[in-house]
């Protein structure tokens, strides 16, 4: 049975459901955002790891090659000449089925015995297993997939389907499905014979890799395998490859987590606000209980237990809501990961107990922390029946300087942390939080000053009720401060993120304009090569003066993956590279003849290299040293990269494939007609993209914007929390001051006047929050751009502050506050004058 | 059950095809027996041309290179070995493709070693598609291989047989001491009454063999005699054939005897049973079912189920042969997906009253339960 | 009544409050003995320090100088925590504004004190029944304070103040919020219950009428008793 004491306290909340609900909402949203981001991150990562696990199977090592992969003859040699058996060839790549992306896994059934074991009991329309086997091996285009994937794609065994791969459409037949066994690692994996995979992906003669199984610690077997490989091929640990791929997205995920924490931080203010109120409002009750003999410890326990219970209930709702939200975020997260890092197919959030626990702990913890401050304060009251409001405000006023001092110290600590933490991302994010908290603590003092100064002014302009409205902000600071701070932090976050994204976008746009020098760009849609004959035909088109070629390749060695860009450039394109740390003339002199490379700025930052350094890259002839001629500015959104000339590439790689072209037109040429001509030339072949310079810029920016959609979503949620905070504060304030309003009504103010005063007050709160948010937002943007983005991605961004972002944010703060004030204003207007006279 | 199951299914075909009537007709057998459309059939005698016919005949559905032999170590150790390459066409032809992996050819190999001293029987198998040089067969120079298991012609004209598994391995040089002999009617071996249910079948019944046998870490220098059976067909099965007993015996007087008895489901022997007697000089004589009398003297119960005959009295009155055939060890059963018995045997007895000895290989299918 | 033990003893009791720069002396070296079972009225104008004195006796507030001994315990020497426990056990309060817990019904308001004193539930229930009967509210046990009249609320407050059988009852203008007739009734009840149980009571009031019910009347003036 719940003791009477607790009932006395709790039923207060039950009698003020509005307040209870609002304090719940703060926690619910905060926890939901944390859980959602955590689940989306971990689900994406887990899906990737599981699918790698399923795909890798029992393979402990993988033989990888150069840009084109591993020559298939190497595989035959390993088996026939070297008698190496525990190996299996793999040809894999992206395909799409009716618009849904999937991964094609081409395998040789005969080699699979000791490598993969994921297909389980196949279910086929043909009960005859041998004809199934024969079909799989002999019939082109025969595929199998997991039951779940088949269901998701609306396919049944026996169906024929259109598969888009390598820029062409192919006919496939689903001959069997295998159960998932709850193993979502097989999501969107389509298994086919290696021959079909080579045909579809245009990889005849090449394997994506060779999977190998080497007994634990069997160094001899590993050495035998390595010794049997020609130059340019390497054996890497499968687990290591998976890990380094998964880790590529770590910075992105860390940033998301930080943003979710921001939502909780704002939520924390809100919770603090609610709990603080509920304690303040019960100071009469607390006085009675203390007089009746409730000890301080009992009182503290009572408040904290109450906060804990509320926190737990709200956090539970938050988790449920978070899982739902996570489903939505997952789509955004996986899309960004696909755009930026690696292929991951994930459709369902997997509910990680750890994420759930994190959310619950965060929710309950936040509630306890938020309650601790008012609880400790409440227990320090002498057990007299009621402290007067003015005493409370005096107390609040007395601690203000101290709070401000702590705030300043926090900001100084943030600056120091940035200065000493080198390139550590987590330290950078910690500094951001310190900065926000520190600044937040300074806001109340500033607000008091502003409202004290502003009140007489307001009085002159709008009369005594305006004066009361403005002065009310300062005199009710013990209640309004937290709401103001919460709104200011939320708005500043939107300013910070908006300015950052805006600056980033500006830099990218400018960079695109500079870098993209050709008039038309065309290339294969996926990473496939263009038909050489087509390239020649395009070169000879009327109006085409010269072309540049590009090849994208991924080099990999034990240290991880390096994105390589191979260019054959006309001199006109040289200006497109902004060389940062060398004399451009010398750079371009050495470009084709010496073994030099250029590195992008993010690459240089992440790997701590620059002009003059040497870099070892795996080539088809084994590892080779290349001299870094220069660092160039780049916002290549796919990955940071190393760039080399076609001539240099040709000396080190047996690959003459080209995946895209830049067309430089004669002055007289018409861009649209050349585009039409290119499209006509390629009509029969694999689909190409053909776009004007302008079109490519637009498309690039569209992808850029897409990667920031998730950012938008998160800060809208943060604002939502802040909005609830204002609403909750105003409702509580209205309850608190019910008698005061009633008195005003008794004195002859109309409901409209009282409501108007409340509205004016919330408007002032919004204005002050908005104004306070501006400097914090700008500083936050600066830190996000110069510290966080730099550390996370290596990008150098020019910061530009668009005044309209600031203006809109302030207006938004006012609007949000006014909106939140509507209901409390209406309620205050409804105050019955009689209440004032009833008691005391 | 795994994807690998498919391979198991294919392996299940192996003994069926190899032994033609090893199992009661399964759906798989029916599949292969019923739809031979598009494949070549063995309907009439053909001209055998060597070495071309040592190579593959992909227009037929299945084919094998079957080498068995008995070897002596230089310290008197006793070994028997089997290395068989099976080839299957999964479809009459392969689709044209850019991919070298695209094929209709599949190869499977069985390797077995009978260790008479330790009374051990060791088995290993390989399989691969016949593409990309991973597995295949060629006539000139002769070569058949899967991965690093192979039989290949040396510059001397001898064949080298090399196959190694974890537990054991062979590296042998085989030198034919007799020319190929054509079994059946000029090499057309009718297996059941239906026309086309027949194979092309030739043997080299005596190959001088020497080389190395490895078990575990031990190498043995060995020498002895091997036997090659070559057969290709598209369909040979009949629904009422339940199994067969095949004898390949090399006798001390230099003559060799091959006989296969096809067993029907009513317990009788199919009239198409038959064999070949090869004289010391290499002259082949066809044997009909009535030329050979076989009496089972003993049986062996497989621990996995089924009772195999395990000792025989074999008489060929036409050539004065009265032979007792005894397995070197009783358990020479292969645990591929469908089980069969294939093992080294010792022969003793008389020819025209004079005592004679010999060695050989016996294959027994359709007994496993 | 010589020989009766002293229940409340104040010695040289002083209490000052700071109000900005100014110091305001509320109690100035007060001495007082109150015997067990005595009812004493404390009179004085608003702000004369009546409530402060009650708070000091009840252990709610601590003096700047002097000692308070209640039921033989030197309250001023106790820590805040021990004072709370002492108060819980030995003091009952009745306030002008009743100060019932609005979220608890009548019975639970009384039960609250018993629970704090860890009175077993069964015993507590019977005592609540008896007390509510004594204050003539047996039929309102389940009602919440907001539906009770002022007089009824104060009767609940009296029941609550006596529930744990405290040695001393402190009442601060117990009839201040009530009309005369109701006030009379409440006063009679209070007087009867206190006297019947032989408890000591200190009533702060500026009402002559209230004071006339008491054994002794003290005037508090300029921080001193007269």
C-alpha B59/C-alpha B40 separation (Å) is 6
Picking from B313, B310, B358, the residue whose alpha carbon sits closest to that of residue B333 is B310
- Its sign, for the CA torsion A716, A722, A725, A731, is negative
Tokens of A93: 């790549």
Q: Which residue has the higher pLDDT, A342 or B191?
A: B191
pLDDT of residue B4: 29
Chain A CA closest to residue B27: A128
**With pLDDT > 90 as the criterion, what percentage of chain A qualifies?**
14
pLDDT of residue C186: 84
Comparing A379-393, A451-465, A479-493, B248-262, which segment has the lowest mean pLDDT? A379-393
Mean pLDDT of B98-104: 92
pLDDT digits (tens, 9 = 90+) for A136-189: 888 899 998 888 888 888 888 888 999 988 778 899 999 888 777 655 567 788
Q: Report whether pLDDT(B230) > 60.
A: yes
Strand partners of residue B287? B275
- Domains (range + CATH), chain B: 5-364 (2.40.370.10)
Q: Report whether pLDDT(A547) > 70.
A: yes
Query: Do the chains contact at B133 and A119, CB–CB below 8 Å?
Result: no
pLDDT of residue A800: 87
- For testing the chain C interface, which of A1, A292, A299 should be mutated: the one with the most C CBs within 10 Å? A292
For residue C212, the tally of other CB atoms under 10 A from its CB is 10
Chain A CA closest to residue C20: A394
Establish whether the linkage from the previous residue to B51 is cis, with ω within 30° of 0: yes
Tokens of B347: 């022969």
Neighbouring chains of A at 3+ CB pairs within 8 Å? B, C
- Concatenated DSSP letters for B15-80? HHHHHSSSSS--HHHHHHHH--TTS----S-----TTGGGS--TTSSEEEEEEEEEEEETTS-EEE
pLDDT of residue C40: 92
pLDDT of residue B35: 62
Chain A CA closest to residue B91: A138
Q: In this structure, what are the phi and psi dihedrals at residue A163, rounded to the nearest 5 degrees?
A: -120, 135
C-alpha B187/C-alpha B192 separation (Å) is 15
Picking from B74, B70, B51, B76, the residue whose alpha carbon sits closest to that of residue B230 is B51
Taking the Cβ of residue C204 and every Cβ of chain A, the question of whether any pair is shorter than 8 Å is answered with no
Q: Report whether pLDDT(A284) > 90.
A: no
Return the DSSP state at A420. H
- How much helix, strand and coil, in percent to the nearest 5, is found in chain B? 10, 55, 40
Query: Do the chains contact at A128 and B27, CB–CB below 8 Å?
Result: yes
Which residues lie below 8 Å from residue C20, measured CB to CB, with a gap of 6+?
none
Query: Do the chains contact at C88 and A292, CB–CB below 8 Å?
Result: yes
Q: Report whether pLDDT(B324) > 80.
A: yes
A54 and A150 co-located in one domain: no
Q: How many domains would you assign to chain C?
A: 1
Comparing A116-125, A470-479, C137-146, which segment has the lowest mean pLDDT? A116-125
Tell how far CA A616 is from the center of its chain: 32
C42-63 per-residue burial string, b: 16 or more CB within 10 A, e: under 16: bbbeeebbbbbbbbbbbbbbbb
Q: Report whether pLDDT(C77) > 60.
A: yes
A637 and A608 co-located in one domain: yes
pLDDT of residue B255: 95
- How much helix, strand and coil, in percent to the nearest 5, is found in chain A? 60, 15, 20
Decide: helix, strand or coil at residue B181: strand
Q: Which residue has the higher pLDDT, B2 or A325?
A: A325
Q: Quote the ipTM score.
A: 0.87
Q: Report whether pLDDT(A57) > 90.
A: no
Query: Do the chains contact at A293 and C58, CB–CB below 8 Å?
Result: no
Residue A11 counted as domain residue: yes
Q: Domain boundary at A639, A663, A686, which? A: A686
C-alpha B95/C-alpha B102 separation (Å) is 7
A393-429 per-residue burial string, b: 16 or more CB within 10 A, e: under 16: beebbeebeebbeebeebbebbeebbeebeeebebbb
Give contacts of C 96-155 with A, CB under 8 A: 97, 99, 101-104, 108, 111-113, 115-117
Tokens of C16: 């000052």
Q: Report whether pLDDT(A804) > 90.
A: no
Taking the Cβ of residue A76 and every Cβ of chain B, the question of whether any pair is shorter than 8 Å is answered with yes
Neighbouring chains of C at 3+ CB pairs within 8 Å? A
Residue A697 counted as domain residue: no
Mean pLDDT of B84-102: 89
- Looking only at the bridges linking them, the beta strands covering A168-178 and A142-146 are parallel
Q: What is the rounded average pLDDT for all residues in chain A?
A: 80
A336 and A216 co-located in one domain: no
pLDDT of residue A374: 74
Site of tokens 């501006």: A774
**By residue range, what is the domain housing residue C58?**
39-62+77-225
pLDDT digits (tens, 9 = 90+) for A499-541: 888 888 888 888 888 888 889 999 887 667 888 888 999 999 8
**By residue range, what is the domain housing residue A21?**
1-58+239-384
Residue C5 counted as domain residue: no
Picking from C60, C64, C91, C94, the residue whose alpha carbon sits closest to that of residue C190 is C94
A46 and A80 co-located in one domain: no
Q: How many domains would you assign to chain A?
A: 3
Q: Domain boundary at A384, A418, A436, which? A: A384
Residue C4 counted as domain residue: no
Domain containing residue C211: CATH number? 3.40.50.300
A164 and A143 co-located in one domain: yes
Mean pLDDT of C157-181: 87
Query: Do the chains contact at B97 and A82, CB–CB below 8 Å?
Result: no
Residue A516 counted as domain residue: no
Strand partners of residue A161? A172
Residue C212 counted as domain residue: yes
pLDDT-based confidence at residue B31 (cuts at 50, 70, 90): very low
Decide: helix, strand or coil at residue C9: strand
Mean pLDDT of A600-616: 87
Query: Do the chains contact at A4 and C87, CB–CB below 8 Å?
Result: no
Give contacts of B 161-190 with A, CB under 8 A: 164
- Concatenated DSSP letters for B108-153? EEEEEEEETTTTEEEEEEEEEES-TTSEEEETTTTEEEETTEEEEE
Q: In this structure, what are the phi and psi dihedrals at residue B210, rounded to the nearest 5 degrees?
A: -145, 160
Query: Do the chains contact at C112 and A12, CB–CB below 8 Å?
Result: no
Q: Report whether pLDDT(B14) > 50.
A: no
- Å from A300 to nearest chain C CA? 13
Q: Which residue has the higher pLDDT, A440 or B177?
A: B177
Q: Which residue has the higher pLDDT, C179 or B141?
A: B141
Tokens of A44: 């994406």
Decide: helix, strand or coil at residue B323: strand
pLDDT of residue B1: 18
Mean pLDDT of A600-605: 86
pLDDT of residue A247: 72
Give contacts of A 193-212 with B, CB under 8 A: 193-196, 198-199, 202, 204-205
Q: Report whether pLDDT(B5) > 50.
A: no
Residue A220 counted as domain residue: yes
- Concatenated DSSP letters for B205-256? EEEEEEEEEEETTEEEEEEEEEEEEEEEESB---TTEEEEEEEEEEETTS-E
pLDDT digits (tens, 9 = 90+) for A220-241: 888 999 999 998 898 988 888 7
Q: In this structure, what are the phi and psi dihedrals at residue A271, rounded to the nearest 5 degrees?
A: -65, -45
pLDDT-based confidence at residue A736 (cuts at 50, 70, 90): low
pLDDT of residue A262: 65
C-alpha A688/C-alpha A167 separation (Å) is 7
Residue A676 counted as domain residue: yes
pLDDT of residue A119: 42
pLDDT digits (tens, 9 = 90+) for C13-50: 998 877 667 788 888 888 999 999 899 999 888 778 88
pLDDT digits (tens, 9 = 90+) for A408-432: 999 999 999 988 888 787 888 888 8
pLDDT of residue A266: 66
- Concatenated DSSP letters for A334-386? HHHHHHHT------S----HHHHHHHHHHHHHHHHHHHHHHHHHHHTS-S-S-
A305 and A208 co-located in one domain: no
Q: Which residue has the higher pLDDT, C75 or A707?
A: C75
Q: Which residue has the higher pLDDT, A832 or A716?
A: A716
pLDDT of residue A473: 75
pLDDT digits (tens, 9 = 90+) for A635-688: 775 555 889 999 999 999 988 889 889 999 998 888 899 999 998 888 877 778
A48 and A178 co-located in one domain: no
Residue C29 counted as domain residue: no
Which of A9, A294, A382 is facing C61, going by the closest CB pair?
A382
Query: DSSP alpha helices (H): ranges in A105-218?
Result: 129-138, 147-152, 194-201
pLDDT of residue B237: 62
Most confident listed range (A417-421, A574-578, B254-258) = B254-258
pLDDT-based confidence at residue A743 (cuts at 50, 70, 90): low
A603 and A647 co-located in one domain: yes
- Concatenated DSSP letters for C138-203? GGGTT--GGGS-HHHHHHHHHHHHHHT--SEEEEESTTTTS-HHHHHHHHHHHHHHHHHHT-EEEE
Which residues lie below 8 Å from residue A744, measured CB to CB, with a gap of 6+?
A753, A754, A757, A831
- Å from C98 to nearest chain A CA? 10
Site of tokens 């999977």: A211
Q: What is the rounded average pLDDT for all residues in chain B?
A: 85
Residue C15 counted as domain residue: no
Picking from A513, A525, A629, the residue whose alpha carbon sits closest to that of residue A575 is A513
Residue C20 counted as domain residue: no
Q: What is the rounded average pLDDT for all residues in chain C?
A: 85
- Its sign, for the CA torsion A411, A417, A423, A428, is negative
Site of tokens 């600044």: A439
Q: Report whether pLDDT(A335) > 80.
A: no
- Its sign, for the CA torsion A799, A803, A806, A808, is negative
pLDDT of residue B121: 92
Mean pLDDT of A276-297: 75
pLDDT digits (tens, 9 = 90+) for B263-278: 888 888 888 889 999 9
Mean pLDDT of C111-118: 83
Decide: helix, strand or coil at residue B356: strand
Query: Do the chains contact at A383 and C84, CB–CB below 8 Å?
Result: yes
A95 and A203 co-located in one domain: yes
Most confident listed range (A414-423, A519-528, B153-162, B235-244) = B153-162
Taking the Cβ of residue B36 and every Cβ of chain A, the question of whether any pair is shorter than 8 Å is answered with no
- Looking only at the bridges linking them, the beta strands covering B218-233 and B62-73 are antiparallel
- Å from B276 to nearest chain A CA? 35
Residue C134 counted as domain residue: yes
pLDDT-based confidence at residue A556 (cuts at 50, 70, 90): confident
pLDDT of residue A358: 84
pLDDT digits (tens, 9 = 90+) for A67-110: 888 999 999 999 999 989 889 999 988 888 887 888 898 988 88
Most confident listed range (A353-367, B26-40, B111-125) = B111-125
Provide the greatest CA pair distance for chain A.
104
In this structure, the dihedral spanned by the alpha carbons of residues B294, B336, B366 and B278, taken in order and rounded to 10 degrees, is -30
Residues of A in contact with C88 (CB under 8 A): 292-294
A198 and A78 co-located in one domain: yes
Mean pLDDT of A473-481: 70
Residue C10 counted as domain residue: no
Q: Report whether pLDDT(A114) > 70.
A: no
Query: Do the chains contact at A293 and C85, CB–CB below 8 Å?
Result: yes
Interface contacts (A, B; CB < 8 Å) = 112
- Assess contact for B25 and B197: CB atoms under 8 A: no
Mean pLDDT of C136-148: 87
């Amino acid at each position: 049975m719940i003791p009477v004491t607790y009932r006395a306290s709790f039923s207060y909340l039950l009698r003020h459901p509005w307040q209870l609900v609002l304090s719940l909402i703060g926690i619910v949203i905060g926890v939901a955002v944390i859980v959602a981001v955590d689940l989306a991150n971990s689900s994406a990562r887990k899906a990737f790891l599981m699918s790698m696990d399923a795909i890798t199977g029992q393979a402990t090592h993988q033989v990888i090659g150069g840009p084109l992969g591993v020559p298939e003859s190497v595989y035959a040699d390993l088996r026939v000449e070297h008698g190496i058996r525990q190996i299996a060839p793999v040809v894999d790549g992206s395909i799409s089925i009716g618009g849904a992306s999937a991964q094609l896994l081409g395998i040789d059934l005969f080699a699979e015995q000791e490598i993969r074991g994921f297909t389980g009991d196949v279910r086929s329309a043909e009960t005859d297993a041998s004809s199934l086997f024969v079909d799989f091996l002999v019939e082109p285009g025969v595929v199998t997939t997991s039951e779940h994937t088949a269901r998701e794609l609306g396919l049944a065994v026996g169906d024929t389907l259109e598969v888009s791969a390598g820029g062409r459409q192919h006919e496939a037949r689903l001959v069997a499905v295998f159960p998932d066994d709850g193993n979502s690692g097989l999501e969107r994996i389509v298994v086919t014979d290696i021959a079909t995979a080579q045909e579809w992906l245009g990889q005849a003669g090449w394997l994506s890799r060779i999977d190998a199984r080497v007994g634990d610690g069997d160094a001899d077997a590993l050495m035998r395998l390595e010794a049997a490989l020609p130059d340019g091929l390497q054996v890497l640990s499968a687990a290591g490859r998976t890990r380094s791929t998964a880790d590529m997205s770590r910075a992105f995920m860390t940033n998301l987590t930080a943003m979710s924490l921001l939502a909780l931080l704002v939520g924390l203010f809100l919770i603090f606000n609610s709990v603080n109120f509920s304690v303040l409002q019960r100071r009469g009750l607390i006085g009675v209980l203390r007089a009746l003999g409730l000890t301080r410890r009992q009182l503290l326990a009572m408040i904290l237990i109450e906060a804990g219970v509320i926190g737990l209930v709200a956090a539970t709702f938050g988790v449920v809501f978070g899982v739902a939200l996570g489903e939505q975020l997952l789509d955004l997260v996986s899309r960004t990961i696909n755009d930026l890092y690696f292929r991951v197919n994930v459709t369902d959030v997997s509910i990680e107990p750890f994420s759930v626990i994190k959310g619950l702990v965060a929710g309950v913890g936040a509630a306890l922390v938020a309650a601790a401050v008012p609880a400790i304060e409440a227990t320090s009251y002498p057990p007299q029946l009621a402290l007067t409001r003015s005493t409370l405000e005096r107390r609040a006023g007395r601690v203000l300087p101290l709070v401000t001092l702590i705030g300043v110290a926090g900001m100084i600590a943030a600056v120091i942390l940035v200065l000493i933490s080198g390139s550590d991302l987590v330290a950078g994010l910690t500094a951001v939080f310190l900065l926000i908290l520190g600044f937040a603590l300074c806001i109340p003092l500033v607000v008091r000053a502003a409202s004290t100064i502003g009140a007489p002014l307001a009085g002159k302009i709008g009369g005594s009720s305006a004066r009361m409205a403005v002065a009310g902000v300062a005199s009710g600071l013990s209640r309004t401060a937290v709401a103001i701070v919460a709104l200011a932090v939320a708005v500043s976050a939107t300013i910070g993120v908006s300015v950052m994204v805006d600056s980033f976008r500006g830099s990218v746009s400018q960079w695109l304009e500079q870098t993209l020098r050709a008039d038309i760009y065309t290339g294969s849609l996926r990473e496939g090569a263009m038909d050489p004959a087509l390239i020649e035909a395009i070169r000879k088109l009327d109006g085409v003066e010269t072309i540049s070629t590009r090849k994208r390749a991924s080099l990999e060695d034990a240290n991880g993956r390096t994105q390589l860009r191979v260019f054959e450039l006309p001199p006109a394109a040289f200006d497109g590279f902004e060389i940062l740390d060398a004399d451009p003339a010398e750079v371009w002199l050495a470009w084709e003849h010496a073994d030099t490379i250029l590195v992008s700025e993010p690459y240089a930052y992440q790997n701590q290299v620059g002009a003059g350094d040497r870099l070892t890259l795996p080539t088809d002839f084994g590892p080779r040293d290349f001299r870094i001629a220069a660092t160039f500015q780049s916002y290549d959104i796919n990955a940071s990269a190393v760039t080399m000339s076609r001539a240099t590439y040709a000396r080190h790689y047996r690959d003459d494939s080209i995946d895209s072209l830049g067309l430089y037109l004669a002055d007289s040429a018409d861009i649209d007609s050349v585009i039409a001509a290119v499209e006509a030339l390629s009509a029969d072949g694999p689909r190409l993209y053909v776009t004007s310079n302008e079109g490519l810029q637009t498309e690039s920016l569209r992808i850029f914007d897409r990667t920031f959609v998730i950012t938008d979503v998160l800060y809208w949620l943060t604002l939502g929390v802040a909005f609830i905070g204002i609403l909750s504060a105003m409702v509580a304030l209205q309850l608190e001051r019910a008698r005061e309003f009633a008195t005003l009504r008794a004195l002859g103010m109309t409901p409209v006047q009282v409501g108007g005063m409340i509205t004016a007050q919330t408007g002032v709160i919004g204005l002050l929050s908005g104004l306070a948010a501006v400097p914090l937002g700008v500083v936050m943007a600066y830190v996000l751009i110069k510290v966080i983005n730099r550390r996370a991605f290596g990008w150098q961004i020019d910061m530009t502050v668009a005044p309209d972002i600031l203006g809109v944010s302030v207006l938004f703060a006012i609007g949000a506050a006014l909106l939140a004030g509507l209901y409390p204003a209406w309620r205050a207007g409804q105050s019955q004058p009689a209440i004032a006279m009833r008691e005391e | 059950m795994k994807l690998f199951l498919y391979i198991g299914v294919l392996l299940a075909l192996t003994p069926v095809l190899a032994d033609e009537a090893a199992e009661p007709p399964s759906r798989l057998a029916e599949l292969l027996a019923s739809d031979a459309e598009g494949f070549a059939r063995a309907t009439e005698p053909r001209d055998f041309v060597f070495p071309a016919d040592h190579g593959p005949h992909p227009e037929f559905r299945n084919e094998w290179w079957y080498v068995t032999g008995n070897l002596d170590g230089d310290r008197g150790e006793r070994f028997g070995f089997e290395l068989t390459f099976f080839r299957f066409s999964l479809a009459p032809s392969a689709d044209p493709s850019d991919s070298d992996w695209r094929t209709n050819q599949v190869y499977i190999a069985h390797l077995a070693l009978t260790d008479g001293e330790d009374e051990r029987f060791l088995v290993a198998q390989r399989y691969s598609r016949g593409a990309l040089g991973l597995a295949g067969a060629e006539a000139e120079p002769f070569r058949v291989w899967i991965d690093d298991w192979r039989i290949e012609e040396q510059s001397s004209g001898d064949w080298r047989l090399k196959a190694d598994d974890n537990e054991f391995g062979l590296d042998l040089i085989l030198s034919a001491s007799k020319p190929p002999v054509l079994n059946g009617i000029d090499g057309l071996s009718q297996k059941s009454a239906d026309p086309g249910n027949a194979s092309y079948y030739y043997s080299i019944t005596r190959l001088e063999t020497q080389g190395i046998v490895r078990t575990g870490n031990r190498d043995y220098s060995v020498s002895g005699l091997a036997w090659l059976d070559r057969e290709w067909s598209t369909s040979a099965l009949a629904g009422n054939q339940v199994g067969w007993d095949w004898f390949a015996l090399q006798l001390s007087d230099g003559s060799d005897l091959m006989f296969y008895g096809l067993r029907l489901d009513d317990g009788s022997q199919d009239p198409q049973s038959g064999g070949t007697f090869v004289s010391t000089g290499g002259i082949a004589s066809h044997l009909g079912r009535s030329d050979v009398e076989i009496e089972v003297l003993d049986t062996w119960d497989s621990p996995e189920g089924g009772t195999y005959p395990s000792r025989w009295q074999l008489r060929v009155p036409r050539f004065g042969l009265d032979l007792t055939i005894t397995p070197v060890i009783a358990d020479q059963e292969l645990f591929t997906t469908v089980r069969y018995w294939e093992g080294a045997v010792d022969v003793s007895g008389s020819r025209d009253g004079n005592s004679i000895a010999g060695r050989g290989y016996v294959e027994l299918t359709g007994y496993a339960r | 009544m010589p020989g009766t033990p002293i229940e409340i003893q104040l010695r040289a009791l002083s209490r000052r409050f700071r109000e900005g720069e100014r110091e305001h002396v509320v109690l100035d070296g007060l001495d007082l003995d109150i015997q067990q079972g005595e009812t004493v009225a404390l009179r004085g104008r608003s702000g004369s320090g009546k409530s402060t004195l009650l708070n000091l006796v009840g252990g709610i507030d601590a003096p700047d100088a002097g000692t308070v001994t209640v039921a033989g315990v030197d309250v001023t020497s106790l820590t805040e925590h021990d004072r709370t426990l002492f108060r819980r056990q030995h003091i009952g309060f009745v306030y002008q504004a009743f100060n019932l817990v609005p979220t608890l019904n009548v019975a639970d308001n009384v039960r609250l004190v018993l629970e704090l004193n860890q009175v077993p539930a069964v015993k507590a229930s019977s005592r609540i029944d008896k007390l509510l009967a004594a204050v003539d509210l047996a039929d309102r046990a389940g009602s919440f304070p907001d539906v009770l009249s002022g007089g009824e609320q104060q009767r609940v407050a009296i029941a609550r103040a006596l529930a744990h059988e405290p040695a001393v009852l402190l009442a601060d203008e117990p009839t201040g919020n009530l009309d005369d007739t109701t006030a009379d009734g409440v006063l009679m009840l209070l007087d009867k219950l206190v006297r019947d149980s032989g408890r000591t009571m200190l009533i702060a009031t500026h009402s002559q009428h209230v004071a006339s019910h008491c054994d002794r009347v003290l005037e508090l003036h300029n921080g001193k008793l007269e």
